[in-house]
């Protein structure tokens, strides 16, 4: 498994986007992004339908066009991704316009309000935050060197993976706090929308791979959610489902041992680990889900 992104004429008193006076606007449709592990990024609807490719198709030798580690903006209108392993690009999903906002970073994540991106820089030795127009870049002062994982729902804290343990620190810099550190390798943390729960991948299951687990964000009992190889969990905006990457055999059966031939696909489950099911079609490899819209 390869784990390496019109103005309209107003002819009525109400419009779909804003709603009638005094009525709340309809939430934007939920959009899911993923990459195929070979340099292309895709988006689709939450139910797995409507898959479309966002980035150009690339050949094996077209390094500068390879894309991955995509992250959707909270409103689902833009997609940030890593290009050629060092450029942070943003594409407008409606117009297709692409802009480069940073050179020398990878694995971006959006702030909850959509105004900033956080990503790893300097070969994994620092975390940088930049406004989505590419200005106001600043380095988060952390004692540990690690890769950016996610921001808290209130946007005030950043969660970083450091050599198999999870560390949280203020986005403005300052003393960090260990969220989870034990004898296991822990990674891919993601908060529930209300900030009460943390899901993550870990090799604590004793298999030749990782599974997904949950725990209270403030610390507490760790609960297994999958018993087969799975990584990259992400909550839907309403907190009712978790999307994740899982490894399957070429014929589609989930596996625990990644030493056998596998391929990645996206799956979804309830927050307690029940109702696990395939989300992406078997015809395409899919990994690293990101979710936007629904707000």
Q: What is the pLDDT of residues 119-169, one digit of tens each?
A: 998 677 788 999 999 999 998 877 777 888 899 999 999 999 998 999 998
- How many whole angstroms from its chain centre is CA 265? 15
63 and 110 Cβ atoms separated by less than 8 Å: no
Contact 278, 237 (CB under 8 A): no
Mean pLDDT, the chain, whole residue set: 88
Residue 24: band (very low, low, confident or very high) from pLDDT cuts 50, 70, 90: low
Q: What is the pLDDT of residue 25?
A: 66
Say how many C-beta atoms besides its own lie within 10 A of residue 27's C-beta. Answer: 13
**Which token pair is 272?**
């307690």
Mean pLDDT in residue range 208-220: 94
Q: Does the pLDDT value for residue 8 go beyond 70? A: no
Q: What is the pLDDT of residue 129?
A: 94
Give the pLDDT confidence score for residue 180 in this predicted structure: 95
pLDDT score recorded for residue 140: 86
Query: Given pLDDT bands bounded at 50, 70 and 90, which one contains residue 61?
Result: low
Flag whether pLDDT at 60 surpasses 90: no
The mean pLDDT value for 174-202 works out to 94
Which one is predicted more confidently, 187 or 261? 187
Backbone angles phi, psi at 96, to 5 degrees: 85, 0
Distance CA 127, CA 147 (A): 7
| pLDDT of 7 strictly over 70 | no
Can you tell me the distance from the alpha carbon of 168 to that of 222, in angstroms, rounded to the nearest whole number?
18
pLDDT digits (tens, 9 = 90+) for 81-99: 999 999 999 999 999 999 9
Buried b (16+ CB within 10 A) or exposed e, 210-232: bbbbbbebeeeebeebbebbbbb
- Largest pairwise CA distance in the chain: 64
**pLDDT tier, 63 (very low <50, low <70, confident <90, very high otherwise):** confident
Q: Selecting from 1.10.275.10, 1.10.238.10, 3.50.50.60, 2.120.10.30, what CATH number does the domain 31-292 have?
A: 2.120.10.30
Question: For a pLDDT cut of 90, what percent of the chain falls above it?
Answer: 70
């Amino acid at each position: 498994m390869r784990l390496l992104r019109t103005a309209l004429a107003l002819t009525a008193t109400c419009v779909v986007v804003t709603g009638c006076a005094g009525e709340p606007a309809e939430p934007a449709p939920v959009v899911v992004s993923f990459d195929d592990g070979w340099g292309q990024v895709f988006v689709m609807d939450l139910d797995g339908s409507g898959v479309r490719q966002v980035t150009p198709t690339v050949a094996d030798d077209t390094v500068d066009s390879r894309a991955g580690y995509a992250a959707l903006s909270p409103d689902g209108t833009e997609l940030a991704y890593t290009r050629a392993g060092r450029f942070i690009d943003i594409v407008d999903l409606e117009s297709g316009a692409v802009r480069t906002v940073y050179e020398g970073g990878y694995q971006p994540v959006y702030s909850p309000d959509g105004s900033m991106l956080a990503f790893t820089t300097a070969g994994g030795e620092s975390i940088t935050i930049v406004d989505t127009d590419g200005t106001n870049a600043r380095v988060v002062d952390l004692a540990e060197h690690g890769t950016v994982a996610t921001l808290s729902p209130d946007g005030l804290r950043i969660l970083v993976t450091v050599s198999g343990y999870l560390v949280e620190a203020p986005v403005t810099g300052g003393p960090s706090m260990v969220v989870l550190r034990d004898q296991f390798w822990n990674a891919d943390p993601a908060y529930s929308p209300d900030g009460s729960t943390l899901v993550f991948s870990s090799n604590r299951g004793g298999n030749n791979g990782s599974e997904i687990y949950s725990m209270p964000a403030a610390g507490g009992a760790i609960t297994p959610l999958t018993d087969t190889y799975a990584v990259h969990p992400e909550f839907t905006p309403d907190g009712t489902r978790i999307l994740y990457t899982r490894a399957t055999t070429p014929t589609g059966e989930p596996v625990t041992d990644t030493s056998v031939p596998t391929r990645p696909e996206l799956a979804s489950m309830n927050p307690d680990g029940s109702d696990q099911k395939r989300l992406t079609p078997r015809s395409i490899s899919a990994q690293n889900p990101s979710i936007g819209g629904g707000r």
